[in-house]
Amino acid sequence: MEITTEEVKYINSYIKETASVTGKPENLINAEGTYTLDGVQAVAYGRIRYTAGGDYKRTERMRDVVIAILKKLKTKSFREINDILDTILQKIYTNLTISDIILEIPSIPKYKIVESLGWPYEVKAYTTPTWYGVPVTLESNVTKMHKEIFNENNYIASDMVKNISNSIIKKTGYDN
């Protein structure tokens, strides 16, 4: 991962906290540059939110970590992936069975993340005193999501989405 000078200011406090909680080693990063992050550093990198871009940049960092993990996973053998699963499946909960997950291992080389976007798509800053990214408008963002993800070109937002969208407009004044 490429760590910027701005990110170095924040990453080490997250490294210290994550290492303390997990009992893992605390390997600090003291200068900008390109790094192969260990698990504690990767979690810390994904938690940084006080740089330009705020929480949206934080979610982008987390997506970058997931993409890097997938890229590295593609270099592993079936046995190595199975060993990784033996370790991590004890620590996560999912509705997939172990058999379902193991059946997916041969497909890993075919997995491609072709685009990584945050949602909502269109936002404006709203500060009260905390900064929020307000969807402009929620209704149009939900409609766009249904078109792009579900290929629903004629989607009409529910009354609940419309009501929430109108409440956001009333509070912020952001209607486009």
Per-domain residue ranges of the chain? 2-110, 123-172
Give the global pTM: 0.71
Q: pLDDT > 90: what percent of the chain?
A: 58
What value does the mean pLDDT take over residues 31-47?
Answer: 96
Taking 80 as the threshold, does the pLDDT of residue 54 lie above it?
no
User: Can you state the angle between helices 39-47 and 5-22, rounded to 10 degrees?
Assistant: 120
Residue 52: per-residue pLDDT: 80
Q: Looking at residue 71, what is its pLDDT?
A: 92
The Cα 129–Cα 95 span in angstroms is: 39
The overall average pLDDT reported for the chain is 90
Task: Quick: pLDDT tens for 155-173.
Answer: 999 999 999 999 999 999 8
Q: Is the peptide bond before 109 cis (omega within 30 degrees of 0)?
A: no
Residue 96's contacts (CB-CB under 8 Å, 6 or more residues apart) are: none
User: Residue 129: pLDDT above 80?
Assistant: no
The answer to whether the bond into 129 is cis (omega within 30° of 0) is yes
Residue 109 confidence (pLDDT)? 87
Residue holding tokens 């149009």?
Answer: 140
Question: In the 8-state DSSP scheme, what is residue 132?
Answer: E
User: pLDDT tens-digit profile of 70-121?
Assistant: 999 999 998 999 899 888 888 888 898 888 988 988 898 888 888 777 788 8
The whole-angstrom separation of Cα 42 and Cα 33 is 14
3-state helix, strand, coil split of the chain in percent (to 5) is 55, 10, 35
Q: Which residues contact 11 (CB under 8 A, 6 or more apart)?
A: 3, 29, 41, 44, 45, 48
Helical residues (DSSP H) of 27-137, grouped into ranges: 39-47, 54-73, 78-88, 98-104
Residue 53: pLDDT band (50, 70, 90) is confident
Q: Which residue has the higher pLDDT, 117 or 13?
A: 13
